[in-house]
């Protein structure tokens, strides 16, 4: 996992990039709404993202599902920054101390010898060009964003 970083509250779009935001209630429908939102953004952003739509759908579904299951936040915010070369998606919730752990046994129970939770972040790590966690609010954290980036073919590494 990438180290925690301090970044601006609202992602700054790269030159030629655009920022989009979706805010949904923390319900069982949130992952589907976020998945459709990100999918639609990448579909209209140009044919270079077409191969990445499925990866983006899987990644955002995992992150929003984690926020839904493991936080008591009332709303989940999805910010997407899309440029010609890459897309970064931020999933924000108001519980900065509910931290994701890739493959962490503490997040899931073991049934029939198989860990049922905690593997999704490994999926995000395998599909995304980069991913990480940012906690906002300094000494009095107010929310966190778990994010991932995908690059178009020929995009920046």
Rounded to an integer, the average pLDDT of 62-86 is 92
Task: Choose between 16 and 62: higher pLDDT.
Answer: 62
Is the separation of the CB atoms in 129 and 157 below 8 Å? Answer: yes
Q: Counting every residue, how long is the chain?
A: 157
Q: Among 7-16, 58-67, 120-129, whose mean pLDDT is lowest? A: 7-16
* Strand 143-151 to 130-136 pairing: antiparallel
User: How does pLDDT run across 79-138, given as a tens digit for each residue?
Assistant: 999 888 889 999 999 988 777 766 554 333 333 333 345 678 899 999 999 999 888 888
Which of 7, 3, 21, 24 lies closest to 136, judged by CA? 7
- pTM (two decimals): 0.79
Q: What is the architecture, at CATH level 2, of domain 19-151?
A: 2-Layer Sandwich (3.30)
Is the separation of the CB atoms in 59 and 52 below 8 Å? Answer: no
φ, ψ of residue 98 to 5 degrees: the values are: -90, 90
């Amino acid at each position: 996992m990438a180290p925690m970083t301090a970044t601006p509250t609202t992602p700054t779009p790269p030159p030629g990039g655009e920022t989009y935001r979706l805010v949904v209630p923390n319900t069982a429908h949130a992952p589907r709404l976020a998945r459709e939102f990100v999918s639609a953004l990448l579909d209209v952003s140009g044919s270079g993202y077409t191969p990445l739509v499925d990866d983006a759908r899987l990644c955002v579904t995992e992150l929003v599902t984690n926020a839904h299951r493991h936080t008591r936040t009332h709303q989940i915010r999805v910010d997407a920054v899309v440029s010609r070369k890459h897309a970064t998606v931020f999933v924000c919730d108001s519980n900065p101390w509910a931290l994701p752990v890739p493959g962490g046994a503490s997040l899931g129970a073991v049934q029939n010898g198989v860990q049922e939770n905690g593997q999704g972040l490994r999926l995000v790590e395998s599909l995304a060009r980069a991913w990480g966690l940012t906690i906002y609010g300094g000494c009095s954290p107010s929310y966190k964003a778990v994010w991932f980036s995908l690059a178009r073919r020929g995009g920046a590494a």
